[in-house]
Chain A
Amino acid sequence: ETGVTQSPTHLIKTRGQQVTLRCSSQSGHNTVSWYQQALGQGPQFIFQYYREEENGRGNFPPRFSGLQFPNYSSELNVNALELDDSALYLCASSLPGTSGSHEQFFGPGTRLTVL
């Protein structure tokens, strides 16, 4: 059973550019949540995808968007990058409805630096 994987590991972009981050969920997990962790802060919930549909969103502007594919992998897209978007982006997968379903399995994250 493979865990949650994310790519790329690190990324450097400039202001105004667009970026796509990728996440492969743990085998069998149909729910993916994305979090932004700024340096020295706790993770903040961006949005969640359940069976290819957005299932809740945190306090992030529309330039943060996502997708979930039939194999439950997911993408996070950020348009018009700003300096404050520099952070560690974490993906977490889960399988709601199963015993212990409240456990989120986190990937190692993608470190995004915006210059």
Chain B
Amino acid sequence: AQSVTQLDSQVPVFEEAPVELRCNYSSSVSVYLFWYVQYPNQGLQLLLKYLSGSTLVESINGFEAEFNKSQTSFHLRKPSVHISDTAEYFCAVEAYGSGNTGKLIFGQGTTLQVKP
């Protein structure tokens, strides 16, 4: 079985400051890792994913996350946040195996509040 822990329920930060949203996971098998973002009254949008290869993955809007297998972590970072980044962020894992495709295990979510 897999589980995901997001270590901060809320992260307040000022505009243009750096931010890190922490995610740790537990799994007895190898997993794929994802970050999703949810804006108010909307569904989830994929922000970035780690499937294989380079452990540092980037999104088109400046976020990046690094897969650390030894620490079972997949923390999300951005060097300079904008007001528009205010949203709920979810870390998720999917166990290896074609039969597991699409069966995501999510963390509790972290609310990123960007202040002017």
Contacts and interface: CB of A to CB of B under 8 A. Distances in A.
A1 B3 CA distance: 34
Interface residues of B, number: 28
B104 A45 contact: yes
B6 to A, nearest CB: 8
B53 interface: no
A103 to B, nearest CB: 5
A16 interface: no
Contacts, number: 68
B59 to A, nearest CB: 13
Interface string A71-115: 000000000000000000010101011000111101111000000
A: interface residue count bin: 20 to 34
Contacts of B90: 42-43
B101 A43 contact: no
Nearest to A107: B43
A68 B48 CA distance: 28
A110 to B, nearest CB: 10
Contacts of A42: 4, 6, 90, 92, 106-109
A56 interface: yes
* Interface residues of chain A: helix, strand, loop or mixed (majority): loop
B43 A108 contact: yes
Contact of B103 (A4, A48, A90, A106): A48
A55 interface: yes
Interface of B: 4, 6, 32, 34, 36, 41-46, 49, 51, 90, 92, 94, 98-109
15 contacts: A35-B104, A42-B6, A42-B90, A42-B92, A45-B104, A45-B105, A48-B102, A55-B99, A90-B43, A90-B44, A102-B34, A103-B46, A104-B44, A104-B46, A106-B44
